[in-house]
Amino acid sequence: MSFSSDIKDELCRLQNENQCCRFAELAGILRTGLIIREVRNRNLLLFITEHALVSRMVYSRIKEIVPDGVEISGEKTTRFKRHVVYRLNLTGITAFKEGNELLGSVGINISLPEKTIEYSDFDISERCCIRAYLRGGFLAVGSVTNPDKSYHVELAFTDSRISSEFMKYMEYFELKPKLIQRKNYDIVYMKEGQDIVDFLNVINAHNALLEMENIRVLKDMRNQVNRLVNCETANLEKTVNASLKQVSYIKYLDDTVGIENLPANLKEVARLRMEHPEASLSELGKMLNPALGKSGVNHRMRKLEKIASDLMQKEK
């Protein structure tokens, strides 16, 4: 199962005791997830999902209000990969007073002959109900990428009024959603790990939140280790290159004037560098008697390099 599927399964198992929150959640589902599609020369009002628990929850909620207004079916599809798509036919709710009252109460106006769904404003004042409304929208049209790979949450809306509404309610919780158009959809999305964690908290997906936080910690640790390794590798490469350069001009001095003829302080450093080409300047300094700091060793190496350079210039 995907990370998105796990989140939706978790949300479907939440127990919403407050009727106001149950209604707000259903409103979020219906205002984002309904479509009209022509099937065998009939215009049908449908809710389509790939998630079994989501389909079961929506079916049960509608059934409570309009017992004869919903039918459910599943069909296998090979789009992208083989899986089952669940189709809820809600066309029947428009034939009942309770169904039309439900649609009206969530700000939805259906015209099956014209294949149109129009939305009016849906204002929510209670903080808990805003959470539930956002949760319903995510269940219907939301997805989250596997945080092991990348950080991305998005909700795909077919109506600009609904996308603006969801952005407003997300910003109410100090989230920072962004909007792009993709084909015929408004995509409301976030790509920052902390924003996604905060969003999961808002919709009460606490198990998924903890899992994502664990993954973020592990990724941060891996990144830190990689940075340290890269830094150590770069430092080692720098040390090796510097050492090779130092060894080359010390060999040149030995061949031309002889190391033994150098001043005592330079002779000792030159000898140690030849014996320990892998050592850093700090390590060489500790081998001297008396010990010398990194800057002191570097100063002597520069003197050796200058002597070698001057001799090379004279030879030219």
How far apart, in Å, do the first and last CA atoms of the chain sit? Answer: 73
Q: What is the residue range of 11's domain?
A: 3-204
Give a yes or no: residue 304 inside a domain.
Answer: yes
Structural domain tally of the chain? 2
pLDDT in tens, 230-268: 887 887 788 788 888 888 888 888 888 888 888 888 989
pLDDT (0 to 100) of residue 78: 66
pLDDT in tens, 155-213: 999 999 999 999 999 999 999 999 999 999 999 999 999 999 999 999 999 999 999 98
Are 226 and 114 in a shared domain?
no
Give a yes or no: residue 302 inside a domain.
Answer: yes
pLDDT (0 to 100) of residue 257: 87
Are 17 and 109 in a shared domain?
yes
Are 8 and 145 in a shared domain?
yes
Q: Report the distance separating Cα 37 and Cα 43, nearest Å.
A: 6
Give a yes or no: residue 209 inside a domain.
Answer: no
Are 181 and 266 in a shared domain?
no
pLDDT in tens, 36-47: 999 888 999 999
Look at residues 144, 174, 204 and tell me which one is the last residue of a structural domain: 204
Give a yes or no: residue 110 inside a domain.
Answer: yes
- Residue 97's pLDDT band (boundaries 50, 70, 90)? very high
Look at residues 204, 239, 259 and tell me which one is the last residue of a structural domain: 204
Residue scoring higher pLDDT (206 or 315): 206
Residues 6+ apart with CB under 8 A from 18: 128, 129
Give a yes or no: residue 275 inside a domain.
Answer: yes
Q: In the Cβ-directed half-sphere of 106, how many Cα atoms lie within 13 Å?
A: 27
Give a yes or no: residue 210 inside a domain.
Answer: no
DSSP of 179-208, one letter per residue?
Answer: EEEETTEEEEEE--HHHHHHHHHHTT-HHH
Are 20 and 130 in a shared domain?
yes
Are 129 and 252 in a shared domain?
no
How high does pLDDT run on average in the chain? 91
Are 188 and 59 in a shared domain?
yes
pLDDT (0 to 100) of residue 316: 60
Are 63 and 156 in a shared domain?
yes
Between helix 3-12 and helix 127-141 the angle, nearest 10°, is 130
Are 257 and 285 in a shared domain?
yes
pLDDT in tens, 8-19: 999 999 987 789
Give a yes or no: residue 165 inside a domain.
Answer: yes
Give a yes or no: residue 293 inside a domain.
Answer: yes
pLDDT (0 to 100) of residue 134: 98
Are 195 and 270 in a shared domain?
no
Are 197 and 63 in a shared domain?
yes
User: Considering the chain, what percentage of its residues have pLDDT values greater than 70?
Assistant: 98
Residue scoring higher pLDDT (144 or 280): 144
- Residue 77's pLDDT band (boundaries 50, 70, 90)? confident
- Residue 65's pLDDT band (boundaries 50, 70, 90)? very high
Query: 143: domain CATH number?
Result: 3.10.28.10
pLDDT (0 to 100) of residue 82: 61
Radius of gyration (Cα) for the chain, nearest Å?
Answer: 35
Are 67 and 128 in a shared domain?
yes
pLDDT (0 to 100) of residue 220: 82
- Residue 79's pLDDT band (boundaries 50, 70, 90)? low
pLDDT(218) > 90:
no
- Note the pTM of the prediction, 2 decimals: 0.73
pLDDT(289) > 70:
yes
- Residue 72's pLDDT band (boundaries 50, 70, 90)? very high
